[in-house]
Each structure stands twice: as C-alpha cells, then as structure tokens.
C-alpha cells in the first residue's frame, strides 16, 4: 500500500524548485531524469516522465491485442515469428 505524505519547497526567482529527497525517492526520480507536470484545474501532479509515458502507452494500447485476436502470449509470439519470417523473405 502506498503511503501518503506532504512536503513542500520554495519557488525561486526563475521558477525553479528543488524536489525534496523523499519525493524523489517515492517517484523513483534520479539525477538526470525527467519529470512531467500534469495540470488538472488548479491542481498539479508531478510524475516520473518515463513512468508516465509508459502508462499513457499502455492506456492507448488497451484492448488492441483483443481486436487482433491475440488472446495469449503464444498468439503474440506466433505473430512476432510470422512478421520476422516475412521480413527475412524480403
């Protein structure tokens, strides 16, 4: 279960904010990583950009396998193998 906590930071003259260490740890953010700001009305969520991108991709792809009659891992592997074989023939 995810624990909730509150932390704060000061906004500097150029709009920069240091993300508190506990928040970075909770989001899995390391030096050099990118973050995404999700603005919903007057609220903002700060998320790990890589995790957010993967979640968006998964959301967009939801149901696509079923539309293509890919009901199991074996079906997916068979499709991959067929595509690879087609690529080798060219």
Cβ–Cβ < 8 Å for 19, 46: yes
Alpha carbon 39 to its chain's center: 16
**Per-residue pLDDT reduced to its tens digit, 46-74:** 999 988 888 888 888 888 777 878 888 88
d(C-alpha 28, C-alpha 20), whole Å: 12
| Three-state DSSP class for residue 38 | strand
Per-residue pLDDT band for 83 (boundaries 50, 70, 90) equals confident
Task: Give the SS3 label for residue 45.
Answer: strand
Express as a percent the part of the chain with pLDDT over 90: 43
Q: Are 9 and 17 in contact (CB under 8 A)?
A: yes
pLDDT of 78 reads 86
**What pLDDT is recorded for position 80?**
86
Give the per-residue pLDDT at 1: 53
pLDDT exceeds cutoff 60 at 77: yes
Asked if pLDDT for residue 2 goes beyond 70, the answer is no
């Amino acid at each position: 279960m995810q624990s909730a906590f509150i932390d704060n930071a000061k906004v500097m003259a150029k709009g920069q904010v240091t993300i508190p260490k506990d928040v970075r740890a909770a989001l899995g953010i390391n030096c050099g990583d990118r973050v995404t700001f999700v603005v919903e009305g007057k609220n903002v969520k700060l998320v790990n950009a890589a995790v957010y991108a993967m979640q968006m991709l998964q959301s967009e792809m939801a149901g696509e396998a079923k539309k293509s009659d890919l009901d199991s891992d074996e079906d997916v592997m068979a499709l991959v193998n067929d595509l690879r074989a087609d690529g080798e023939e060219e």
